[in-house]
Structure 1
Amino acid sequence: MTMPSVWATGNLTSRTQRTGRYLPASMDHPAKMLPTIASKVIATYTQPGDLVLDPMCGIGTTLVEAVHLGREAVGVEYEARWANLAVANLLHAHRQGATGTSRVIVGDSRRIRVLLGDRAGRVALVLTSPPYGSSTHGHVRSTRDSGEPGIKKSNHRYSQNPGNLAHRDLVTLMEGFGEILTGCRHLLRPGGIVAITIRPIRIRGELIDLPGQVLDVAEHAGLVLIDRIAALLCGVRGDRIVSRASFFQLQEARRAQARGVPVHAIAHEDLLVFTTPAGDAATDGDVR
């Protein structure tokens, strides 16, 4: 049985954590992993020189934090736009003195054993997060900001490509994520780690337990849960919580509370940490 713990990873806003360390265009991605979460996972579960993989790497947060910590980093990204930005962020990291090596591949991670067959049995850590559907809250501008009536959203879509898992229904998305985890398991070294950040979401007001679904999918892929951590998205100031919730999260919570429904804005990511079973032979055999 795992004992849950809490990591104070949200004391600085996402924008503050990225300023200077990432290119400004990085803020355009709709669902970025917090750099402090990535760096703490990497520092906790790997050693310098280890290979870190993100099969859905987006703008490269996992990879950037890995090379800053002297790890080898490899990422796969379905969308060329984000893959190119990941490469640019890695070049920026190396200009800042990062010593780890890095590689980004544009491709479908459901075929990750083919894409990274040369790394089979070498990966120390897989660190990733699945998409949250075809769009997220993104960035919001109110009438006060834009001078135009109504709320304007931007940077809330991963892509327009229907082949992207983000555009599939939740069942198909989880099936595809299971394929990715199964492929990653075959790339892990013995005792390797898979860490997944995920939070619940609301669909038409209904709370969906995505962490629970990811846990089921990972266990079906043959992984064994060893840690479950609450990685805070909120700040902590003494005994006070500083919310980092988006405009729409706060709006939905307030509307629900006005109806008498005790809804609160989400203030943490579930960090699910898995390993391979003892004596696992998943890395044996040919790459398919």
Structure 2
Amino acid sequence: MVPLTVWLCSDPHNDEPTPQPASQPRRPGSGSTICLQHRQSIGRELARHLISTCTGEGGLVVEGFTTSEAALVAAAELDRRAVALVPHFPLARHIGTRLRATLDQRRLTRVQMRPVRPDQMARGLADDLGQVSLVIGAPPPYETGGHNPKRGSQTGCPACRADLWMLSSEQLGLFLAAAWKVLRPGGVLAITTTARQQAGRLIDPAPRIIRQAQGLGFRYAQHIIALRVPIDGDALVVQAGPADLAELRDTRSGVLPPPVSVHADVTLLSKPPREPGDRQEGDAR
């Protein structure tokens, strides 16, 4: 792995399930109600890059902070097994509907959802401790008890409603510790973050997460810039949605323009290979 790399990870069709043959009619309710922000947290193309780079065929992939079916679908299509942690029932039901509309029955057998929080991952995967090849997580970019003051439970996006109680600073530390327990030696933890503006300051959560992970024994492996928008020649193609268009201002205005998310930062951290004589989680004493 090189220290820094760029991946093209735009998902122009990520909001629509893959069409199924006529013999498998599309189920009601399979249309997307996940907001753009959550569809982008771990998109289909980013998941494919991570899974194909960090795992082999038949490997086990686990996703915490799950907001869509993207990682599960990518894993199934690449012949990996995958488990998503989805403690919020309305979101789990939505993802299940999308999975059934996207994957055939054979591929559906490769994916599971378990009703545990990210910080409870080791408990939810007690039968797979030390066997996971890749843990993926895109923690919400705010940490006030998991509450984002700009969004409320009235939103139609099930991932937004799940976010309201999903993350606190303590839970993030427990998630990292749980990732250490479930990963096999040589396994990879992939954390996706996005810097945010708060009170006029740019806050990047990645350095603190890296320090926490290194304190547990993880080794920093690579920083990836995942471009979420297509490229046309040498230009980024940024497509504004209705909410963005509503915020357009006169070019002569001195007010800062609305922020546009064009990339995510992905940090890869590895669990060191097992040294001779080391005990592994679950070894007989």
SS of residue matched to 1:192: strand
Of the three residues 18, 24, 33, the one matched with 2:31 is 24
Deviations 1:87-106 (A, max 9, x none): 22332333286376111111
Is contact 1:86-1:104 (8 Å) kept?
no
Letter aligned with residue 94 of structure 2? L
User: Where do 1:37-52 residues align within 5 Å?
Assistant: 37-52=46-61
TM-score by length of 2: 0.77
Deviation of the 1:78 alpha carbon: 2.3
Separation in structure 2 between the aligned mates of residue 66 and residue 7 of structure 1, nearest angstrom: 18
Q: Aligned to 1:241, which of 220, 236, 239? A: 236
**Counterpart of 1:91?**
100
Q: What aligned pairs does 1:129-208 form with structure 2 within 5 A after superposition?
A: 129-133=138-142, 134-135=147-148, 155=157, 158-159=160-161, 164-166=165-167, 173-208=168-203
Number of aligned positions between the proteins: 263
| Unmatched 5+ stretches in structure 2 | 20-29
- Decide whether aligned partners of structure 1 residues 255 and 222 sit closer, same or farther in structure 2, where only a CA change above 3 A counts: farther
- Retained in 1: the 8 A contact 2:61–2:134? yes
Give the 3 Å change call, closer, same or farther, for CA 282–213 of structure 1 in structure 2: farther
TM-score normalised according to structure 1 size: 0.77
Over the aligned positions, Cα root-mean-square deviation in angstroms equals 3.5
1:71 to 65, 80, 84: 80
Following TM superposition, by how much is the alpha carbon of 1:27 offset from its aligned partner in structure 2, in angstroms? 2.6
Q: From 99, 116, 128, give the equivalent of 1:107.
A: 116
The reply on whether 1:211 has 2:206 as its aligned counterpart is yes
* Residue identity matched to 1:24: G
Does the 8 Å contact 1:110/1:179 carry over to 2? yes
Counterpart among 263, 267, 270 of residue 262 in structure 2 = 267
Q: Percent identity?
A: 23
Helix, strand or coil at the partner of 1:193: strand
The farther-off stretch of 84-93 and 254-263 is: 254-263
CA deviations 1:173-196 (Å, max 9, x no partner) are 233112112111111111011111
**CA 1:35–1:24: 2 relative to 1, 3 Å:** same
Letter aligned with residue 5 of structure 1: T
Separation in 1 of the partners of 2:274 and 2:103?
38
1:7: which partner in 2?
Answer: 7
Structure 1 residues 118 and 263: alpha-carbon distance in aligned structure 2, compared to 1, 3 A threshold: same
Take 2:7 and 2:67, find their aligned partners in 1: how far apart are those partners?
Answer: 23
Distance 1:117 1:136, change over 3 A: same
1:220 is aligned, of 201, 215, 224, to 215
